[in-house]
A = this chain, B = another copy of it.
Amino acid sequence: MSPKPVSRSTRRTRRPQHATIRDVARAVGASISTVSAALNGTDYVSAAMRAKIEAAVQQLQYRPNDLARGLRLRRTHTLAIVVPDLSNSFYAEIVRGMKDYTAAANYTVLVGDSRERWAEEKLFLEMLHRRRVDGVVRVPAGDGNASQAAQVLGTIPVVYADRYPEADHPVAAWVGVDNARAAMDATQYLISLGHRRIAIISGPTTTRTAAERLEGYQRALRAIGSMHKEYIRNGELDMAGGARQAIELLTQAKPPTAIFCANNTMTLGALEAIQQLGRACPREISLLGFDDFAWSTLLRPRLTMVRQPAREIGMTAGRMLIDTIEERTRNRATQTLPTQLMVRDSCAPPLRP
């Protein structure tokens, strides 16, 4: 009835173990406490003893065991960040920014990729809990359920980056950009070039950022009274999705003269589609993207895009996290960083038919 107990006894291999603080203590004929005090500078230790300890540490190649340390201290000096897509350079850059900032404060960061799926994100968050990370920054997966995160993370501090947490939750710490504003500016730029038939390819509206960008686009078009339902598309955030929507848009009876893509991978997809259809960009069709990336100047045409300060978002998230962890501040502030429209070659006035 009851299951046969499984013996965990992987044969106790005597792998030559690491030197411990006890080994150092023995080597210099001192007590463990003294060695600890010497290494951490946390109590008086004579110069002579200190020197002997230094020598022993060097000779034994002693390195403190951070597991034991973390257990005792209840602090691991580890942070984590989870993003929806690590191969997207936008998120990669956020991660890099956070790593750079927090490394200076002596934190390590674990990075996770949810692939836009809450199920995967949850697995990662549970792992973080077990490892007792000191804090985590989340760019929540796009398929909802973000509110369950508090459950699995318990009391571990969280900072949100880029995307909002669920609306019903009290907005915690957050850093990002004013998406509606940025999208409106971008759309107005296209309008100023003379475009009227402007399409948008947006992400699923379950992600707040996508919804906000759509909102900004609509506000700009409503202002000039030329918003048309058939030019509004949304779907998957990836390249294939962008390409498919672009093809649908361009092959309809009265195609748009400009396309605004609400993230970077969809922009690439749209560009691919345009080239496949043999349309000239920007002469026949203008393309404007979101989330700049490093090699966007290598493409032909060089893409005009809305640039988000990805690195700064990462660094700010790191800073906010560390601040709340070390209780330098308890303000659950939200930080809004500025965007920038990088005007390059992919947008031009529309053809006068």
Contact = CB atoms under 8 A, between A and B. Distances in A.
Interface of A: 1-3, 5-8, 10, 13, 15-18, 37, 40-47, 50, 61, 63-68, 70-71, 74, 76, 86-87, 89, 92, 96, 99, 108, 110-111, 113, 126-127, 129-132, 151, 154-155, 268, 271-272, 294-295, 297-300, 326-327
A2 B47 contact: yes
Given A2-B47, A151-B61, A154-B18, A294 B87 contact: yes
B8 A40 contact: yes
A298 to B, nearest CB: 6
Nearest to A16: B155
A39 to B, nearest CB: 12
Nearest to A157: B15
> Helix, strand, loop or mixed for chain A's interface?
loop
Contacts of A129: 18, 63
B6 A42 contact: yes
Contacts of A10: 326
A5 B41 contact: yes
B272 A298 contact: yes
Contacts of A111: 111
Contact of A92 (B68, B92, B110): B92
Given A2-B47, A61-B154, A108-B127, 7 more contacts: A10-B326, A16-B155, A63-B126, A65-B130, A67-B68, A96-B113, A268-B295
Given A5-B44, A7-B42, A132 B65 contact: yes
A15 to B, nearest CB: 6
A68 to B, nearest CB: 5
B71 A67 contact: yes
5 contacts: A17-B74, A17-B155, A65-B132, A92-B92, A268-B298
A158 to B, nearest CB: 14
A71 B71 contact: yes
Contacts of A113: 96, 99
A155 B14 CA distance: 12
B271 A1 contact: no
